[in-house]
Amino acid sequence: MAYIWLGLAIVFEVFGTTSMKMSEGFTRLWPSIGMGIFYVLSFSSLSMSLKSLNVGTAYAIWSGLGTVLIVTAGVFLFKEQMTWFKAICLMLIIAGVIGLNLAEAPKGSTESSGGTDAVSSYQR
């Protein structure tokens, strides 16, 4: 379920950023309102995903895939230029997100928390 929340957070973030572009510096009402709504939904969904996912990995996925999707949206919706260099950089972002996922230790293990479980200690 955590990855569903994370996927929703990414989609809402992309809609929010697209709305930000369409708001033209908050001079257009409906895109400005949409931006606020989408960002609230994005951060709420991201917060829900963090109940089960490690914060570093979840944020890397959220920001990395969000970046890839918003660059893609920029190319198709706003006719922004895609260069080979941009494409290679996007592939490096994707590789980094995959690498972080592969390197992640299971939540609750001593490797992922540096030998202590500070959050669990705080909650007791």
Q: How far apart are the C-alpha atoms of 119 and 117, rounded to whole Å?
A: 6
- CA angle centred on 36, ends 30 and 41, rounded to 5°: 120
What are phi and psi for residue 9, nearest 5 degrees?
Answer: -60, -40
pTM for the model = 0.80
Q: What is the pLDDT of residues 19-37, one digit of tens each?
A: 999 999 999 999 999 999 9
In the chain, domain spans: 2-108
Residues above pLDDT 70, as percent of the chain: 84
Residue 19 token pair: 């709305």
